[in-house]
Amino acid sequence: MGDGGNAESMAVTAPLRFHASPGTLYVVATPLGNLRDLTLRALDVLGSADVIAAEDTRVTGVLLRHYGIATRPLSLHEHNEAARAAQIVAQLRAGRSVALVSDAGTPAVSDPGARLVRAVRDAGFPVVPIPGANAAIAAISAAGLAAERFVFLGFLPAAAKARRELLAVVAHLPAALVVYEAPHRVRDTVVHLSAALGGERTLVIAREVTKKFESITQTTLNAAPAWFDADPNHERGEFVLLVDAPPKPEAVAVESALDMRRLLAALIVELPPARAARVAAAATGLPRDALYAQAIALKAERG
């Protein structure tokens, strides 16, 4: 969806302050690292919700204390989400409002929360998104990708076979690929991406998005290891890896034609056109007659 809408209608419909409604789950995006990135509506919801369910109560506690919110968060993480979902549905049934947050960014996007959202919806209670920070979208907005579309992969599977199978499925899609990665795995992940997608694909490395040491660097999958080698700090922090779309078929065809022309030009320096065409046909699988015609033309150009 775009960011359309006009200022007049937004001014009319937007309340001065927002208050969490009873029996409602709010999925609240929180800052990735810069605490000023919390939206006003998110601040209203966190300040008025009866319950705040948090991936890590210690991390969320820092945010809540910064904004003077006294509500003590309730833990909800990947290991207890199923049990907590039942408890939160009971809270909603009792007329309480609940805000769901993750450690950073938007809950249920490579973070816990989706299971809770399903349980709340299945129980018939409303789920309201409170949008805000998201690492993938922030990185895409500053990457300058050629692709008009993207596929969000999140964290790649840890198992080698599952990772290969996933990358094989998406390798030739006409879209950018967006991957999250942790510092201790980022080098290996770039190697896997290069092997599966081709080393010449453009790679944008977004590191520590919105934080003090944020960096957004464009390179290629082949060249990425050298970028990591250049500075030990390049491996620190949280990463969004964006692999731009593969070249369009017509661009590949033009490049292949130019490569073939260069090959034939080199061969006819040492060989007669007929033999040059045979060698080129054997090397590429292209029709010998067509290659012979090109070789003759190149020979004529050279005089």
Asked if residues 84 and 76 have their Cβ atoms less than 8 Å apart, the reply is: yes
In this structure, the strands spanning 239-243 and 176-181 are: antiparallel
DSSP code for 176: E
Give residue 3's pLDDT. Answer: 61
Please indicate whether residue 253 or residue 132 has the higher confidence score (pLDDT). Answer: 132
Of the three residues 133, 167, 193, the one that is the final residue of a domain is: 133
Count CA within 13 A, CB hemisphere, residue 39: 17
Q: What is the pLDDT of residues 141-180, one digit of tens each?
A: 999 999 999 999 999 999 999 999 999 999 999 999 999 9
Q: Both 14 and 126 in a single domain?
A: yes
Specify whether 96 is located in the same domain as 147.
Answer: no
52 belongs to a structural domain: yes
Lowest mean pLDDT among 8-12, 122-126, 152-156, 160-164: 8-12
Q: How far is CA 155 from the centre of its chain?
A: 9
| pLDDT mean over 23-39 | 97
Average pLDDT over residues 43-54: 98
Burial (CB count <10 Å: 0-12, 13-18, 19+), residue 214: middle
pLDDT 10s digits, 176-214: 999 999 999 999 999 999 999 999 999 999 999 999 999
Are 127 and 13 part of one and the same domain?
A: yes
Same domain, yes or no, for 126 and 39? Answer: yes
Asked if 131 and 39 touch (Cβ cutoff 8 Å), the reply is yes
| pLDDT at residue 8 in the model | 54
Whether residue 122 has pLDDT greater than 70 = yes
Are 115 and 127 within one domain?
yes
Q: Are residues 159 and 174 in the same domain?
A: yes
Residue 207's nearest CA partner among 190, 194, 192, 222 is 190
Token digits of residue 87: 């408890």
Q: Contact 45/22 with Cβ under 8 angstroms?
A: no
Count, residues in the chain: 303
Query: Are the C-beta atoms of 272 and 252 separated by less than 8 Å?
Result: no
Task: Report yes or no on whether pTM surpasses 0.85.
Answer: no
- Residue 154 exposure: Cα atoms within 13 Å on the Cβ side: 9
Of 197, 215, 243, which marks where a domain is finished? 243
One domain for residues 165 and 277: no
Q: Are residues 129 and 151 in the same domain?
A: no
Span 231-279, pLDDT tens digits: 999 999 999 999 999 987 654 444 455 577 788 888 888 888 889 888 8
> CATH number, domain at 76?
3.40.1010.10
In this model, does residue 58 exceed pLDDT 90? yes
CA separation for the pair 42, 75 (Å, rounded): 19
Task: Return the bridge partners of 128, or none.
Answer: 26
Q: Is residue 98 part of a domain?
A: yes
| 25-28: strand order across its sheet | 74-75, 51-54, 98-101, 25-28, 127-130
Q: How many domains does the chain have?
A: 3
Q: Which domain holds residue 286?
A: 249-302
pLDDT at 254: 47
Looking at every residue in the chain, the average pLDDT score rounds to: 90
Q: Which two tokens stand for residue 179?
A: 């991957």
Domain presence at residue 291: yes
* pLDDT at site 218: 97
Which pLDDT score is estimated for 289?
Answer: 79
CATH number of the domain that residue 154 is part of: 3.30.950.10
Mean pLDDT for the stretch of residues 81-99 = 97
User: What pLDDT score was predicted for residue 252?
Assistant: 45
Cα–Cα distance between 240 and 166 in angstroms, integer? 18
For residue 21, pLDDT over 70 is answered with yes
Statement to judge: residues 13 and 125 lie in one domain: yes
- Structure confidence at residue 1 as a pLDDT band (50, 70, 90): low
> Are the C-beta atoms of residues 84 and 75 closer than 8 Å to each other?
yes
Query: What pLDDT is attached to residue 29?
Result: 98
Cβ neighbours for 96, distance < 8 A, ≥ 6 positions apart = 22, 23, 50, 51
Instruction: State whether residue 88 is helix, strand or coil.
Output: helix
